[in-house]
Structure 1
C-alpha cells in the first residue's frame, strides 16, 4: 500500500508518500516562515489560505517524482489534530475529497503521535518500549511508549510549551521570527555565568513542566540589563541552559522510574543541538540509547503523517464518517490499532 500523507496543522504544508514495501519514497515541504515573519508569529487565516494553494501541487510533485499517478495511492492520512482549526480543515477536506474520488481509505492521525513515530523513518529506528520527549511549539510531553497506540503520558507542560518559551524569549531579545533557531544561534555566542535562571519544577517530585516562571525571569533580566550584544547573547545562553537542564533532570528521572533503555527526542525544539547533546549524555549515563529523527523531520512534515497513517491504515483503521478535526486532542485518547488480517 502507498499512503499519501498530508500535514497542515500549523504553518508548514507537508506532503509525502510512504510505501509498505519501499518505505518513504517522496516528500515535499513548503514553509510559511516568510509569510508570517512580518507579523512576528503565525496568522491562522493566512496559514489556512496558503495550505489551500500548496497541498495539491505538492502532492502532484511527489507523485511525478516517482512516476506515479493518483490511482497508485492506496490510502490517505492527514493531520486531524491537534493544531489550528482552519489549517487542519484544509488537510482534512482535501484528504476526504481525494479519498472519495479515488475510492481509497482515509484516516486522520494524531499530530503528536506522528512526531513520536518520526524516528521510525530512520535506518536504525528505536525499539519498543521507549521514553519519548516531545517538544514542539505548542506541546511539551514526556510519554512512555510500550507500542504504537500504547502511550502513558508521564508529564506535560502546565502552561507554556518549551517552544513557546523559546519564541517569546527570542522576541524579547529582538530576534526575528521564527525565534527558536535564532535564539539557539545567539546562545552559542553567549558566555556562561552573568545570568542564571530558574530550573522550574525540578526541586519537587513529578515529571510535569512549567516555563511561565522562567519566561518572567527573562523578562525581568532584559528590563534591567544593558542592551549590548554580549548581554543579549549571555541572556540567550542562560535561558537555553535553564531549559536544557530542566529537560535533562526530568528525562533522567523518567528513565530511572520507567526502567526503559531507549529514549526518543522529537518535535521542533528537539532539533536544538545543545538539548540533543545533553540528553544523549543523560541517556548514556543511564545505560540507554537515544534516537532522533533527522533535522528535516523534527519540524512538522508529511513524512511522519504518512508513516503514522500507514501503520494504522494497514491495521484496518478508517475515518468513521465526515470530516471531524480535533484542534485539541489528548494523546491518552488514542487506542492500540487492531492486528491486520
Structure 2
C-alpha cells in the first residue's frame, strides 16, 4: 500500500558534481547541484580535487535543498545516496555524510546504483511527460559509461551491451581536446555540429560484434585525420571547425543508432529511454525523434536537468526502494565499480 508524503533526501557525489535533492513521493521539491569549474584547467576531472570540493560543498548543498523544498530534516523519511560506480574519494564523501545524517535522525539509509539512477530518472513525476512502460530499452551515455540495458521492472535490469574501451562522452572530450576546445567538449561539439556539414568528412565506424560499443578507434582516427590535415594546412581546424564537429557527431550518432536498431531487432522492444550527460545532445535526441517517425519507436527523453549527474535521480530510486522496504545496513561501503 502506497504511503503518503514520503520525503526522500537524495545525495549524489559520484564524480565532480555535489548534488542534493528532496522528493515528496515521486515529485521533485528541490534539486541543487554545485559544479566544480577547476577541472576545466586540467582538461578532465582530477579525483583528489573533486573529493576536496565535495567536502566543502556537501553541507551547504544539502541545507539549500531542504530550504528550497520547504521542509526540515526532521520531516525526512529516508536518506538515499550514490554508492557507486564513480570516483572512490568522491563517493566516500557522500556515503559518509548520508550515513551520519540518517543515523543521527534515526531514519532508513538507502544505497543507490548511479546507473540505475540515470535510468529510473524517467519515473520522476513531471507534467506532460509519460513514464516508460515495461519492458523498455535504456541507453545510458555519459563521460564514463555507454550501456544498452533491458529494463523489465524497476530493479530487474539486464545489460545487453556496453563499451569495451572508451565511453561516448570520453570520445567527445578527447576529440575536442585535439581540436583545441575546452573541457567538457561535448556541448561545444554539439553546438558547432548544428552549424556544419555532417558529411564533410568521413570517419570509420569501429566494427564491434553484438551490442557492445568501441570508441577508442574512432578517437584515434580523428586524431590522425586532424594531424594529417593540419600538416598540409596549419589553419585547417580554424577554417573547418564546424564541419569537423558535425562530421564527428554524425559518426557517433550513427554508431549509437546502429546498435539501438540491432537491440530493437533482437529484443522486439521499441520503447527507448536515454539517460546520462550525453543524452542532452541535440543530435541524439533528434535521431530518436526521427526513429519515432521512421520505425515507430517510442522514445523517452529526460528533461535536461535530469541528464547530467543530479540527486533527483538518486532520490527517485530511493523512493522506489522505500516502497519495497529495501533499506541499507549502516556498514554499507562505497564502491567505485558497481554493476547494474
The TM-score by the shorter chain falls in which range?
over 0.9
Q: Distance in 1 between matches of 2:77 and 2:330?
A: 19
Does structure 1 residue 87 correspond to structure 2 residue 90? yes
Q: Report the CA distance shift for 1:144/1:284 in structure 2 as closer, same or farther (over 3 A).
A: farther
Q: Does 1:148 align with 2:154?
A: yes
Correspondence for 1:52 among 51, 55, 77: 55
Maintained 8 Å contact 1:262/1:288 = yes
Matches within 5 A, 1:109-148: 109-121=112-124, 122=126, 123-148=129-154
Q: 1:239 to 1:124 in 2, by over 3 A?
A: same
Q: In terms of mean alpha carbon deviation, does 259-268 or 133-142 score higher?
A: 259-268
Does structure 1 residue 281 correspond to structure 2 residue 284?
A: no
Task: Tell me the distance in 2 between the aligned counterparts of 1:10 and 1:320.
Answer: 24
- Give 1:118 deviation, angstroms: 1.1
- 3-state SS in 2 of match to 1:6: strand
1:310 equivalenced with 2:319 (yes/no): yes
1:11 correspondence with 2:20: no
Matched, 1:29 2:33: yes
Cα contact 2:137–2:271 (8 A) shared by 1: yes
Is the aligned partner of 1:212 residue 2:219? no
SS in 1 for 2:79: strand
**1:14 offset after TM fit, Å?**
1.1
Alignment of 1:246-261 (within 5 A): 246-261=255-270
Deviations, residues 100-140 of structure 1 (Å, cap 9, x unaligned): 10000111100000001112123321111111110010000
User: Residue 38 of structure 1 aligns to a residue in which SS?
Assistant: helix
**Counterparts of 1:240 and 1:262, CA distance in 2:** 23
Residue 184 of structure 2: which of 178, 181, 187 is its match? Answer: 178
Q: How does 1:59-78 map to 2 (within 5 A)?
A: 59-78=62-81
CA distance in 1, matches of 2:70, 2:148: 41
Unaligned runs of 5+ in 1: 332-341
> C-alpha separation between the residues in 1 aligned to 2:324 and 2:89?
29
**Structure 2 Cα separation of the partners of residues 281 and 265 of structure 1:** 15
Contact kept, 8 Å, 2:109 with 2:330, in 1: the verdict is no
Which residue in the other structure is 2:168 paired with? 162
* 1:199 aligns to 2:205 (yes or no): yes
Q: 1:40 maps to what in 2? A: 43
Q: Tell me by how many angstroms 1:189 deviates.
A: 2.6
Query: Contact 2:29 / 2:68 at 8 angstroms: preserved in 1?
Result: no
Q: TM-score, normalised by structure 2?
A: 0.93
Runs of 4+ deviating beyond 6 Å? none
TM-score, length of structure 1 as denominator length: 0.92
**SS across alignment from 2:316:** helix
Distance 1:80 1:28 in 2: 19
